[in-house]
Structure 1
């Protein structure tokens, strides 16, 4: 918390010459303008992933540096991603075709998931790649309601249930204590209790739907891609004004800058606000007065 007394600050400012105030405002606005450009320079590396950038961001990076829902975390040198309240381990990541292979973290050491919730994707952000099958897990069902085609998995210590059955396809509801559905990649051979653990650990391939064209144009203009929460879209962070734009302006080193040669008696005020999902707002200002 800032413990400075505002009245004391303004008393000092009142004694500061006006030209010096302009200089201070210029330095402050330049720092704010470059902050997102500088902050979003970092890429994410963990395990087999190296140098992954937008639309992804590291979990500790600023929200504006990545597309919402695509924050990556590194746990014991294993890349993970979380959405819909579940943690998934990244098995593969292909930026060229915008696909990644993910597996539920709660089922990596035991075929039956520990968290008794369905695997659900945010349909606005992800879709399953072709070639997957749903597995349904049934926990502690009365004998009369157990489907004939189901296979016995037995005791599932990760979930605490002693009687677990499973079968391919989405079925139910049943008179069971719990039942959940988990999609996995389809295999050429049939899925059975002998390879169920391996199938679960391989997970399923999903495709993210973020349009990469805006980011490509940003990078071509020497900018760094980010997300504008105010307009809910990909944007471009630039090292010079305008600091936030669709693409960065080309700076001609021989031409006088707009800051150094405004018209006589002119004044310009530029204010750009980039919203954030975590109530952080980055404000960029350029104030010129003559």
Structure 2
């Protein structure tokens, strides 16, 4: 006859396995995992964008604060990023998203003041004070430079600055008033405000600014091309989460805290090791089809082993 193993021994063995082999109990499908996995953001020329972006059918917990996108319906649809950075150190601003490169982690943006392939008047440039600064997790890419535009300049005095002020025209019929000038180098802009009382600063692509200086493009073209922004989030942690079979997101109660959504539930960095998973199914006991808690399951397992 095979000797019976004491119940306490079975119980001790099971506890040892649970705490030393990282075995966990599957809680079934995680709704957040399913939603984030199956709902990337798409709008216009932006398709299938995932973490850290969210918007539309993609809830905020699937992305990070500051990366919210909306889709402005039109012909074609236009994706817009909401409340990014600051304007004059005050309110955040919205910008049209031209493209997103998830390899270089960059976005090409155009200010809402401008839209691609449209003319821009001097009046609109003056009325909209749009000096933009960015804060983490955003910063201008090395491809961007500030273009300084000056208005209401004293045309008879600009020659005193050795040609550092350059004349450009706005796209309107009458450009004899409020003619803008731009400065080749930021350090040359200091005393020009005495000649030109109105100053506006716009981030633009360096390549487009160079073409403007050569006279190959107009002001509208430069502003319509927008600028490039680089963004930084917890990419290493997200990669670890994805490699473990999870989906990257943020905590529902803290949109800045990373969360890894897995099929079994929510974890801080990655999903549990698949090879060490035990899936405990619901037990049909008399009239109830409910999953029982782990201690009771262990008691049942001990009882069966003894029998």
Residues of 2 paired with 1:49 and 1:38: CA distance?
Answer: 22
Match of residue 36 from structure 1 = 32
Pair 1:256–1:56, CA change in 2 (3 A): closer
Return the match for 1:153 from 159, 162, 169: 169
Residues of 1 paired with 2:249 and 2:40: CA distance?
Answer: 12
TM-score, with structure 2 as normaliser: 0.62
1:55 deviation in Å? 0.9
Mark the runs of 5 or more structure 1 residues left unpaired by the alignment: 1-29, 267-290
Larger Rg: 2
Pair 1:230–1:50, CA change in 2 (3 A): closer
1:166 deviation in Å? 3.1
Within a 5 Å distance, the mapping from 1:143-182 to structure 2 comes to 148=161, 149-153=165-169, 163-168=178-183, 169-170=185-186, 171-172=189-190, 174=193, 178-182=198-202
Residues of 1 paired with 2:212 and 2:200: CA distance?
Answer: 20
Question: Over the residues paired in the alignment, what is the CA RMSD in angstroms?
Answer: 3.5
Residues of 1 paired with 2:202 and 2:169: CA distance?
Answer: 15
RCO (CA 8 Å, sep 6+): is it higher in 1 or 2?
2
Matched, 1:121 2:134: yes
Residues of 2 paired with 1:231 and 1:94: CA distance?
Answer: 23
Question: Which structure has the highest strand share of the two?
Answer: 1
Matched, 1:262 2:294: yes
1:106 deviation in Å? 0.6
Count of residue correspondences? 231
* Native 8 Å contact 1:91 1:202 kept in 2: no
Pair 1:38–1:115, CA change in 2 (3 A): farther
Match of residue 80 from structure 1 = 80
Residues of 1 paired with 2:43 and 2:199: CA distance?
Answer: 34
TM-score, with structure 1 as normaliser: 0.66
Match of residue 189 from structure 1 = 211
Matched, 1:239 2:263: yes
Pair 1:262–1:145, CA change in 2 (3 A): farther
Match of residue 51 from structure 2 = 54
Residues of 2 paired with 1:189 and 1:129: CA distance?
Answer: 19
1:225 deviation in Å? 0.8
Residues of 2 paired with 1:60 and 1:178: CA distance?
Answer: 43
Residues of 2 paired with 1:254 and 1:118: CA distance?
Answer: 54
Match of residue 225 from structure 1 = 248
Residues of 2 paired with 1:184 and 1:231: CA distance?
Answer: 31
Matched, 1:106 2:106: no
Match of residue 133 from structure 1 = 145
SS of the counterpart of 1:237? strand
Residues of 1 paired with 2:157 and 2:293: CA distance?
Answer: 82
**Deviation by residue 1:157-209 (Cα, 9 ceiling, x = unmatched):** 9xxxx514130444357256642211111125343494221111111122111
